A and B are shown apart, each in its own frame.
Chain A
Amino acid sequence: AQSVSQHNHHVILSEAASLELGCNYSYGGTVNLFWYVQYPGQHLQLLLKYFSGDPLVKGIKGFEAEFIKSKFSFNLRKPSVQWSDTAEYFCAVNEGGGADGLTFGKGTHLIIQP
C-alpha cells in the first residue's frame, strides 16, 4: 500500500518568509501527485497537481512544487508567504492511470504571523 509522509506537522513563519513543506511517498510506479489546502472553516481545495511532464509545477496563489522521482518527493514551496496562507496543507498521491481514492499525508498546519 502507498504511504505519504509530511515531515512537518506544525510550521510557524513570519510574513514574507520563504516556505518549503516536505512530502515523500512510498509507491514506486507511476503516480499522480497533489497538494490540497484547507483554509480555516473552508473546504479542501486543490493547490496544484503533477501528472507528467515538467517536474516543476505551478499552482494557485504563488505556490509551486517540484517532483523529484529519484527521491520520491513532491515538496511545496512559496518564496514569500502571507498571513492569508495560514491553513492546513495536505500532500496526496494516487497511482497513475488509476481512478482510486487518494492517499493523503497527515497534513501540515501552517501559521503565518503578521
Chain B
Amino acid sequence: DVKVTQSSRYLVKRTGEKVFLECVQDMDHENMFWYRQDPGLGLRLIYFSYDVKMKEKGDIPEGYSVSREKKERFSLILESASTNQTSMYLCASMRTSGYYEQYFGPGTRLTVT
C-alpha cells in the first residue's frame, strides 16, 4: 500500500511566522502535490512537482512556496503565515505511468492566530 505521511496532524502558529509542512511518500512516485481543503470550497491545488527540484504553480500559489530536494519528500512553506492561511493542508503523490490516481496523506490542520 502507498503510504503518504505528513509531519504534523495539528499545528498552531502565529501571524508572521515561517511555517514548514512536510510530506513523505514511500512508493517512489514522481509526482507530488499540495492542496488546501476549506469547508464549502473543496480541495484547491497550491503547488505540485513532477520531479526533484521541479515545481509548478497550482490554482492558489500566492503566499506559499515549495521545496523538493529528494524524490520522496515535498515541503510546503508559508513564508509569513497569515490568518487566511488557516486551513487543512493535504499532500498527495502519484506515479507518472499508468493510471493517474493520487494517494493522499492524513492532512495537517494549521491554525494561524
Please give me the residue from chain B that is nearest to A97 by CB atom.
Answer: B100
B110 on interface, CB distance cutoff 8 Å: no
A46 touches B40 (CB 8 A): no
Q: Contact: B43 with A102, CB < 8 Å? A: yes
The answer, among B56, B99, B106, for a CB contact under 8 Å with A43, is B106
Produce 1/0 per residue, B11-48, CB < 8 A to A: 00000000000000000001101010000111111001
**A residues within 8 A CB of B103?**
46
Whether A32 and B104, one on each chain, are in contact in the complex, defined by CB atoms closer than 8 angstroms, is no
On chain A, the residues within 8 Å of B42 by CB distance are 4, 6, 90, 104-107
A32 to B102, CA, bound (A): 12
Report, as a range, how many residues of chain A touch the other chain.
20 to 34
Total chain B interface residues with beta-carbon distance under 8 A: 27
The answer to whether residues A43 and B48 also contact, given A90-B43, A101-B58 and a CB cut-off of 8 A, is no
- Residues of chain A within 8 A (CB-CB) of B40 are 9, 106-107
| A→B interface (CB under 8 Å) | 1, 4, 6, 9, 32, 34, 36, 42-46, 49, 51, 90, 92, 94, 98-107
A-B contact pairs, 11 of them (CB 8 A): A6-B42, A32-B100, A43-B90, A43-B106, A46-B101, A49-B101, A94-B100, A99-B94, A100-B56, A106-B42, A107-B40
- Spell out B's residues near A (CB within 8 Å): 30-31, 33, 35, 40-45, 48, 50, 56, 58-59, 90, 94, 96, 99-107
